[in-house]
Amino acid sequence: MNDQRFARIQAMLALRQHDLTVCMEQVHKPHNVSAVIRTADAVGIHEVHAVWPSQRMRTQASASAGSNSWVKVVTHPTIGDAVKRLKQQKMQVLATHLSDDAVDFREIDYTLPTCILMGQEKTGITAEALALADRKIVIPMAGMVQSLNVSVACALILYEAQRQRQNAGFYLRDYSLLDDDEQQRLLFEGGFPVLARVAKQKGLPYPRINAQGEVDADPSWWATMQSTGKKR
Ligand SMILES: C[S@@+](CC[C@H](N)C(=O)[O-])C[C@H]1O[C@@H](n2cnc3c(N)ncnc32)[C@H](O)[C@@H]1O
């Protein structure tokens, strides 16, 4: 890949906040899912979670502006599975909830490993999610409507987290805290999208990207990439 692209992806990797995430509980409108993913990318979130009964989540390309390829979406069959995994990662799990006993979202310390649970468009957060969460948070409302759009609410909270993390120096790193395999995946898929697509189709492992931003693969890997797969 060219030097500029390589430098840009490396800079993005260094700013990724490995311990900040969002979990969408049955958020089902594609434009909302895509808008959440787009905001996640903008604040440097590398992985978001979704409770979704089927594996495939529908997103809307125009609302995500390409951010889908940079943000990994991990789906879970139940909220219990999702929260279990997040707690294994030592995250504080914050449920967004429109209730009197929820705390103002600006009172939270987002420099701690944090997951924000967002609820379904119509029905909101489930009772099960509320029971599993560590705290409930709310964005104060002073108008006539009861709630905000889910992606708007998510953006407000994520940018408060971004503000706190920026003040704490979390966006000043020049090295990435993501694990090496994940950095390599993003460098290959972002730097060589056509090769990545072919490698995926052929079931080939991704090669390493070297310090110059080049594909470091042996001749047999290239030969398999170029083969048509047809028998002669
Ligand atoms: C349209 S709201 C759902 C409204 C639903 N009737 C309820 O009572 O929760 C969809 C989601 O957006 C988020 N949300 C919207 N407004 C919010 C607010 N003022 N504070 C916190 N979260 C909010 C929550 O995640 C909520 O579950």
What does the pLDDT look like over 122-133, one tens digit per residue?
999 999 999 999
Rounded (to 5) percent helix, strand, coil in the chain: 45, 15, 40
To the nearest 10°, the Cα dihedral for 94, 98, 100, 103? 30
CA of 140 to the centre of ligand 1 (A): 11
Q: Is 103 in the pocket of ligand 1 (CB under 6 A)?
A: no
Q: What is the mean pLDDT of residues 76-87?
A: 96
CA of 158 to the centre of ligand 1 (A): 15
CA of 129 to the centre of ligand 1 (A): 13
Residue 231 clears pLDDT 50, i.e. is over it: no
* Average pLDDT across the chain, whole number: 92
**Which residues sit in the known binding site?**
96, 139, 148
Q: What is the pLDDT of residues 91-114, one digit of tens each?
A: 999 999 999 999 999 999 999 999
The protein residue with its alpha carbon nearest to ligand 1, atom 8, reads 124
The identity of residue 112, as a single letter, is L
CB 76 within 8 A of CB 52: yes
To the nearest 10°, the Cα dihedral for 149, 13, 135, 125? 40
Crossing angle, helix 193-202 and helix 219-226, to 10 degrees? 80
Phi, psi of 207 (to 5 degrees): -80, 170
For the chain, give the percent of residues with pLDDT over 90: 87
Q: What is the pLDDT of residues 137-157, one digit of tens each?
A: 999 999 999 999 999 999 999
Task: Kindly report the pTM of this predicted structure.
Answer: 0.90
What pLDDT score was predicted for residue 62? Answer: 54
Q: Is 96 in the pocket of ligand 1 (CB under 6 A)?
A: yes
Candidate from 96, 97, 159 with most ligand 1 atoms within 8 A of CB, to mutate: 96
60 falls in which pLDDT band (50, 70, 90)?
Answer: low
